[in-house]
Amino acid sequence: MRRYLFLTTLFLWLMVGGLSVGSCQSTDPTSKSQDHKFREEKKMNLPLELERMLSEGEWRAIELAEQLGNKAWPAIKNGASMSGYRSRQVAMACAGRIGGDTAGIILAQGLSDGNVNVRLTAAAQLSVNPPENAKTAVLETLSKSSELDIREMLALAAGYLPGKDTMEVLRPLAEGKDVLGFNARSALAKLGDPEARKQLISSLSSKEPRVRYETLAQLRYVNDRTLAKYAKDLLWDKASALLIGPERNRRFRRVCDQAVDTLVYLMKLSPPFPTTAETIYSDSELLQVSQMIK
């Protein structure tokens, strides 16, 4: 929020529901069959439409690709090698959204693209759900790239890709005190490395509330139900951790709020209230969660 320094300091319009576009459906059977034919033709052309969107670098292509599923691959493959970088970037996002082996090939190719936007989008997609066949590219880029933000995301990707080679790449990175080091330690913990798990658990006792808060979030990434007991210990930790909301209305999210999210995720709880990353829970909601995990 910005203020101008030293500046001098009724009608309630109702939403008109009828303004929404009405669906003018005809009862004429001829018209119905024409509608059906039109819809079928449109459906048949959806892969072509996807290719057009990719060639123009339209972000709406992602939703269409998801809708098309495996039928989207020919268009996405073409998009991934188009001359415009935005086309290739959107193709990476499409591939990540669908996932699977074909996505792995395309995203691996994206990591070595000549444009940073394509590389970043590929790394971002891989950081959440990396296909196994992208492993070599992930580990190679993680160990050789000079781009820190790409490596930070790929460290998280590595946590989904078990193997001795993964551990060897992650271990030296995990010694760092920066975001890359933190992500590498989390990845090792996800892969079952005892030392990394020990460090992760000890971070939950850090004197810095923000560290406890961030570590709780990483427990969801590690995604091991046996770690829920550590989150349970922080369910009443009301230390202020992260400011949320617009600047003029900022409120601290507390360690216990993150603990709720982590417990709900790890233990697959269904509390009778909505849980979001921006919710500050009431005492009664904290109590309800604590009773659910007894």
Partner 1 sequence: MAIVKNIRRWTRIVPVRFARAPDANNPDIDSGTPDANAPDPDDRGFVPAQPGAASLPVGLDESLAEAARPETRVRLIREDMENGGALFITVSDNAILAITSPAPGTALPGQRNMMIKFRARAAGECLIRVMFGAEDGPIIHRLRVVVNALRDVRIAAHVPTINGAIVNDSTGTPVPARSTRTDANIRDLIAQANAIYFPYGIRFVLDAAINRAGALNFANRGMVNDMTNEFGLTTANNRVNGAVNMYFVPQIGSAAEVDQVGGSANSARGNPNTFGSLIADMAAGGQTIAHELGHVLNLVNDPRGQFVHVNTVNDPASPGTGREVRSDIVSRRRLMWAFTNLLADPNMPYRSDVGYGAGQPGAMLAVKQLDRDRTDLEMREVQRAAARLNALAGP
Which of 49, 82, 85, 181 binds partner 1 (CB under 8 A)? It is 85
225 binds partner 1 (CB under 8 A): no
Among 25, 226, 249, 284, binds partner 1 (CB under 8 A): 249
**What are the residues facing 252 on neighbouring strands?**
243
Spatial contact of 115 and 94, defined as CB atoms under 8 Å apart: no
Smaller CB distance to partner 1: residue 112 or 240?
A: 240
Residue 112 binds to partner 1 (criterion: CB under 8 A): no
Please say which residue, 165 or 217, places its beta carbon nearer to partner 1.
217
Q: Show the tokens assigned to 25.
A: 């459906």
Exactly one of 12, 21, 24, 44 binds partner 1 (CB under 8 A); that residue is 12
Under rule CB under 8 A, residue 240 binds partner 1: yes
Q: Which of 53, 65, 72, 89 binds partner 1 (CB under 8 A)?
A: 89
Interface residue with partner 1, options 132, 168, 208, 233 (CB under 8 A): 208
Q: What is residue 8's three-state secondary structure?
A: coil
- Gap between the Cα atoms of 90 and 100, Å rounded: 17
Long-range contacts of residues 136-144, Cβ cutoff 8 Å, at least 24 apart: 136/108, 137/107, 137/108, 137/109, 137/111, 137/112, 138/108, 138/111, 139/165, 139/166, 139/169, 141/111, 141/112, 142/169, 142/170, 142/173, 143/169
Please tell me whether residue 14 binds partner 1 under the rule CB under 8 A: yes
44 binds partner 1 (CB under 8 A): no
Sorted by sequence, the CB contacts under 8 Å of residue 63 that are 6+ apart come out as none
Distance CA 22, CA 186 (A): 52
- Which of positions 145-204 make contact with partner 1 (CB under 8 A)? 146-150, 152-153, 156, 179
> In angstroms, what is the minimal distance from the CB of 84 to partner 1?
8
Instruction: CB nearer to partner 1: give 124 or 196.
Output: 124
Tokens 């001795």 — which residue? 164
User: Cα separation of 38 and 160, whole Å?
Assistant: 44
Distance in angstroms (rounded) separating the CA atoms of residues 236 and 258: 11
Does residue 55 touch partner 1 according to CB under 8 A? no
Residues within the interface to partner 1 (CB under 8 A): 1-15, 59, 62, 85-86, 89, 93, 96-97, 114-117, 120-121, 123-125, 127-129, 146-150, 152-153, 156, 179, 208, 210, 220-221, 223, 240-250, 252-253, 265, 276-278
